[in-house]
Amino acid sequence: MRNPIPVAVAAFLSCLSTGALLAQVGGPGRDAPRLKGPEPFTRETPAPPMQRQITDDVRRRRNYPDQPPLIPHSIEGYALDLNANKCLSCHSRKFTEQSQAPMISVTHYQDRDGNFLGGVSARRYACLACHVPQTAAPPLVENTFTDMDALTVPERRSR
């Protein structure tokens, strides 16, 4: 019998190259933004510099009420792993008095069935899965998002 590993590798590689081919001739990825710029993908170009994060401590307006708020401060070097969660050392209920940080809301203490837990739900432990810092980088694609206030009748705007 032939060794199955090289066969599997070959099958995997052929899937990859078919994918790359499809992406070139059209298919689902055809209109995707060209994040790499005008250079062909075969030419190696230096990566653009990382954008500086906005860390002005000004809380940003949410685009809709249940949007995870953006992080307005630096998070550089903050540990977030199995043993330590730096975010919670300021944002958990216990520590907000000394940190003066906004407390994580009650949804962070609920499990998926809506039961209230004594501690932070495991679903909300990895803060950066939902909360992100912002940079001043120009958008890579056009954004046509419209605030819902602009879609509703004018007198609702003041609420």
List, as residue ranges, the binding site for heme c: 73, 87, 90-91, 108, 127, 130-131
Q: Please, which residue, 45 or 63, has the CB nearer to ligand HEC?
A: 63
Read off the DSSP letter of residue 122. G
The residues in 95-124 that bind ligand HEC, with binding defined as CB under 6 A, are: 99-102, 104-105, 107-108, 120, 123-124
| Cβ-Cβ contacts under 8 Å for 117 (sequence gap 6 or more) | 109, 110, 111
Among 10, 15, 130, 148, binds ligand HEC (CB under 6 A): 130
**Dihedral (C-alpha) 95, 96, 101, 105: value to the nearest 10 degrees?**
100
Contact 63, 69 (CB under 8 A): no
| Alpha helices (H) in 26-108, listed in sequence order | 88-91, 96-99
Piece in contact with ligand HEC (CB under 6 A), picked from 26-34, 87-95, 138-146, 148-156: 87-95
93: contact with ligand HEC by CB under 6 A: no
Give the interface size with ligand HEC as a residue count (CB under 6 A). 36
- State how far the Cα of 53 lies from the Cα of 75, in Å rounded to an integer: 9
What Å distances lie between residue 120 and 66, 89, 105, 128, CA to CA?
A: 18, 12, 10, 15
83: contact with ligand HEC by CB under 6 A: no
Cβ at position 54, least distance to ligand HEC in Å: 11
Cβ at position 139, least distance to ligand HEC in Å: 21
Interface contacts to ligand HEC, rule CB under 6 A? 57, 59, 66, 68-69, 71-73, 75, 78, 80, 85-91, 99-102, 104-105, 107-108, 120, 123-131
